[in-house]
Chains A and B, each alone.
Chain A
Amino acid sequence: MQRNPAMEQASGERRFGLPRLSRKVAPYVFISPAVILFLLFMVYPIIYSFILSFQKQNEEGDLVWSGLANYQRLLGDSKFFQALGNTVLILIVQVPIQLTLAMLLAVWLNSKFLRFRGFFRAVYFLPAITALAAVSVIFRILFQENQGFVNYILSSIGLAKINWFRDPFWNQVLLLMAITWRWTGYNMVIYLSGLQSIPGDLYEAAAVDGATRSQQFFRLTLPLMRPVILFTTIFSTIGTLQIFDESYLLTQGGPNDATLTVGFYLYRTAFRQANFPYASTIAYGLLILIVILSIIQFRLGEKETQ
């Protein structure tokens, strides 16, 4: 390779008037912006909210230590457990539905004989990148009690209209549908990339051995996809436990708090009631649950992989 005299010259001199960095220091300088931001906006809030969770405000408005009082309150807080119950219900019902759907779609879109594959992929992924505020408005209009499109369809095929926003059960169904609509495509894309990393000759070999399509799916695809499935399960679990937007924007907590999630309850406590210490406690209560669930899922996944 020919040497560029200009470059050679420049490398020997100071550029932009800055001192030359030694090889030891340079990497740290390069990562410092990210690290500083990380410390400032992630580590500091994590530590501070942890401290806050052991404090309360006295009559003068000053923060004072209150020991475990907030955690004690959390354990006796019926609203927190109602919100947690709602959230766990979403988790148990919605995550399996969503991941199954995502897997089926991914397998379908991965098939060689499908035309307009790119189009379908884009269509299914679109909800994940759509502005949620807009989505919520559209959903609210579609599911209106009296003039909504969905109820119009239901009544025109002879079914009874559903009070989507008034009936606690159907309000939960509405929330589940909205979350599934939004996140299925996202998981589908992850599965799709997983599927594409499975070598095609495995399937050819299986076909030669006489395996049917469903045998290929259950004996080949699923075992090979296990790490990816584990990843999406953990992410969906964490995401669902933290779910806030849909509860806040679409159902606003629902009739009698039927779709109040822990995230929305936390927001209400912090920003509507100005109670930051207790809101931090809720966050840590939820954190403990998420960590426990993630560990369980991880262990299960690891065991089965081995």
Chain B
Amino acid sequence: MHNMRKPGLFALLTLVVSLVLGACGDPTATTSPATTAASAATTAAAAAGAATTAAAASGGAAVTGNANLKGDITVWGWNVAAKSLQANIEGFNKLYPNVKVTVPDIGRLDVYDKLTTGLAAGGSGLPDVVQVESERMDVYTSKFPEGFADLTDRASKYESSFDPSKWAQSKSKGKIRSIPWDSGPTGIFYRADMFEKAAVDASKIETWDDWIEAGKKVQAANPGVKFAAIDFTKDDALFRMLLNQQGAYYFTQDGKINFNSPEAVKAMTIIKKMNDAGLLTNVQGWDGVVGAMKNGQAATQLFGVWWSGTIQDSSPESKGKWDVIQMPALDKGGNRSANLGGSTLAIPKTTKNLDAAWAFVEYCLATKEGQNTMLKKFGIWPSYIPAYDDPFYSAPQAFFNNKPIWQLFAKEIPQIKPAYYTKDYDQALNAGNNAQADVLNGMDPAKALEKAANDLKNQTGRELAK
């Protein structure tokens, strides 16, 4: 019995230490397309010219600046999002010359791991401002209700100036805990040259059935090309967009599981139809999707507006070959708008410089100058509606078949329906991925969704919607 102790103690140590402590995420491992990570829209920045402007709500007081505000603040963000904030420091310092801003570029999953542990430790080690994707906000506000500063008094005046679907996601229990940054109005990016070869007029496509018919023609005319590339098992972005288009999401407004809803079945059925028609090709993750786009393996991609930046960044040689339409409707004349991705900026409550942190958030997100700097340089689409009042938005884009594609996205914003993420978003995301994997492996959509719904119910204790 004496030497029994050894393996027992060893097991205990290795387990707890390696699992509880050692689980530090790998920042490069997974990149979801549903991030704000849009890449530089450099060519777009060259556009100029007067034209009518897109929908622009007025409102929001002008930021005047304050030389008396002093302090150092640190802002956590990732990829181009971090770069876009860095690009705003110069303009910010003209108004607030005595606030020093540092924006280290930290990997997306690293930010989440550090934020989760920091908030769990009562806010120690956290920066003054942090980027959080909108869909993840509920996870944090539910576990750490007072983890982020209450911005209600400072930010309420901006409510009418922001994309309403995004604003709703920044609220928790009636209080504003973050400011919407960018939106992800969706569109189908397609290869105009391949469509032309098949004599398909994309502007005539209205419904998903039209879309599938178009796909068959495009594939027939372009041997070796698939209509669309998606990750069959690990990204259900298509499912989410189809849900949002119908005004539904993983959960209902009152937090019930919505996987077994008619909308979800319709969404999954469309995905199944596309696959049955042989229009989809399976790729691995973000890199796979980018690769298929770059190699011309996929003729189209339905994503948020941030995809424009990635195309231009990774495939400059395809300039002029791309065009955009809104996603098709389920029925003729139906809604063609949805959102995918987008972030917010939040201020951890433990900041020693709330005023300076707020001033930076306000400048970047609630001024035309701040938001449009980020759009022009890094393709990050403002959730701040007054920003659209800029000639840039209606100018034709050389990269995209000389079409004024920004107009299309701007018009979409007011029509996007809210999505309900809840604190159980991560479990729901996994359930969505699993349901999609099942359907694309041949399972009946209603059955797969029923299974996912029950799975989610078991994990979260939530009720089913019907």
Contacts and interface: CB of A to CB of B under 8 A. Distances in A.
Instruction: Assign chain A's interface to a size class.
Output: 35 or more
A167 B232 CA distance: 10
Contacts of B113: 271
Nearest to B25: A271
A46 to B, nearest CB: 5
Nearest to A298: B7
B23 A271 contact: yes
A253 interface: yes
Given A238-B10, A287-B12, 17 more contacts: A41-B17, A41-B21, A45-B17, A60-B145, A61-B145, A61-B147, A145-B284, A165-B282, A238-B14, A242-B14, A248-B29, A254-B233, A255-B232, A270-B116, A274-B144, A283-B15, A294-B7
A166 B441 contact: yes
B390 interface: no
B282 A79 contact: no
Interface stretch (B325-333, B410-418, B424-432): B424-432
A238 B15 contact: yes
Contacts of A256: 233, 434, 437-438, 441
A257 B26 contact: no
Interface of A: 41-42, 45-46, 49, 57, 59-61, 76-79, 133, 136, 140, 144-146, 163, 165-168, 234, 238, 242, 244, 248-249, 252-257, 263, 266-268, 270-276, 279-280, 283, 286-287, 290-291, 294-295, 298
A304 B455 CA distance: 44
Contacts of B15: 238, 242, 283, 286-287, 290
A252 B234 contact: yes
B21 A234 contact: no
Interface string B428-466: 001000100110110000000000000100110000000
B57 interface: no
A67 B179 CA distance: 38
Contacts of B21: 41, 45
A133 B15 CA distance: 21
Contacts of A49: 16, 20
B232 A77 contact: no
Given A273-B424, A274-B139, A295 B8 contact: yes
Instruction: Assign chain B's interface to a size class.
Output: 35 or more
Contact of A133 (B19, B26, B146, B441): B26
Given A77-B458, A253-B430, A268-B426, A165 B233 contact: yes
Contacts of B11: 238, 287, 290-291, 294
Contacts of B64: none
A270 B142 CA distance: 14
Per CB-CB distance, the 8 closest pairs between chain A and chain B, nearest first, are A255-B233, A255-B437, A274-B143, A256-B434, A294-B7, A272-B426, A61-B145, A267-B23
A122 B8 CA distance: 32
A238 to B, nearest CB: 6
B281 interface: yes
A275 B19 contact: no
A61 B146 contact: yes
B274 to A, nearest CB: 16
A255 B145 CA distance: 34
Nearest to B30: A252
B50 interface: no
Contacts of A287: 11-12, 15-16
Contacts of B30: 252
A42 B119 CA distance: 22
A197 B14 CA distance: 28
B4 interface: yes
A165 B234 CA distance: 9
Contacts of A76: 458
